Amino acid sequence: MIQFRGGDGSSKEKAIIISGAKSELEGVDAEFKFIQRLYSDYELDNQTFIGEEDKKYDLLIIKLSDGTKKDIWFDISDFYGRGDD
């Protein structure tokens, strides 16, 4: 079962930690489902992978219907590199 914990996603230090994904595909899908629950009307502006020694992050920049852009950080260390076996 996929779980979300950690911070509010507003910065790397407050990244939303995703755990329990069986693959990268399932984990990335969970990112978008999480955002959809918060912002029903948005479009993806940019998605960037950021790898550090012991942590892996996805930074999603979304554009809301009013034109506002938001950065949403996810800690994907738990499922990064996991295949779809």
As a whole number of angstroms, the distance between CA 23 and CA 30 comes to 11
pLDDT in tens, 33-84: 999 999 989 999 999 999 998 999 999 999 999 999 999 999 999 999 887 6
Q: What is the pLDDT of residue 82?
A: 81
Residue 85 has pLDDT above 90, yes or no: no
Q: What is the pLDDT of residue 40?
A: 86
Report yes or no on whether pTM surpasses 0.85: yes
Using alpha carbons, select from 72, 82, 66, 78 the residue that is nearest to residue 31: 72
| 8-state DSSP, 35 | H
Quickly list DSSP for 44-67.
Answer: EEEEEEEE-SS-EEEEEEEEETTS
Q: Return the bridge partners of 52, or none.
A: none
